[in-house]
Structure 1
Amino acid sequence: MSDKQKKASAYWKENVRYLFILLAIWFIVSFGAGILFKETLDTIKIGGFKLGFWFAQQGSIYVFVILIFVYVKLMNKLDKKYGYNE
């Protein structure tokens, strides 16, 4: 295996690791906070709405958008690390 292939393989492995971590965070926020922990979160109110309802309706979308920006930042850093930046 050439050095270029090793570098590409390491890059892809780190990229997939970032994806799994970020998707796990989104899953926990959307499924966990919106469905599994809804009853517990409903004891807290934000702006007159129960927190479980808020996560189910809006919170998971906000977290997803934030995770997109985090992913872009991580990928820019990863591109520089492996020399794939433009």
Structure 2
Amino acid sequence: MTDHTHDSHGYWKATLSLLTKILIVWFLVSFGAGILFADFLNQFHFGGYPVGFWFAQQGSIYVFVALIFIYANRMNAIDEKFDVHED
């Protein structure tokens, strides 16, 4: 059995920092682009639709799926950095 000393404070700081960034992007896309800034974004068009409408209907879903992959990738990197990854 090997004795591993882990920097649990650093690990959780990195994890919470990643979560904070992901949640900020999530909020800006869902609430910001879909509701708060929709009127401003609707003056632009993407695929024939106003951008505010597009984000509220489809764009946010694409961003949310991308956030899942980004989160998984970054968490794997954090796990490896702090030597808590699965073998």
TM-score (norm 1): 0.88
Letter in 2 for 1:80: E
* Count of residues in correspondence between the two structures: 83
Which residue is 2:16 aligned to? 16
Shift of 1:9: 2.2
Letter in 1 for 2:9: S
- RMSD across aligned C-alpha pairs, in angstroms? 1.4
Structure 2 residues not aligned, in runs of 5+: none
Is 2:50 the partner of 1:50?
yes
Runs of 4+ in structure 1 over 3 Å off: none
Structure 1 residues not aligned, in runs of 5+: none
| SS class of match (2:43) | coil
Among all aligned residue pairs of Structure 1 and Structure 2, give the percentage whose two residues are the same amino acid: 49
Shift of 1:76: 0.8
In the TM superposition, 1:1-86 aligns within 5 A as 4=5, 7-85=7-85, 86=87
Larger RCO (alpha carbons 8 Å, 6+ apart): 2
Letter in 1 for 2:79: D
**Residue deviations 1:32-75, cap 9 Å, x none?**
11111111111111121111000011111111110111111111
CA distance in 2: counterparts of 1:46 and 1:82, whole angstroms: 42
CA distance in 2: counterparts of 1:13 and 1:61, whole angstroms: 28
TM-score (norm 2): 0.87
CA distance in 1: counterparts of 2:20 and 2:5, whole angstroms: 24
CA distance in 2: counterparts of 1:29 and 1:21, whole angstroms: 12
Higher fraction of helix: 1
| SS class of match (1:79) | helix
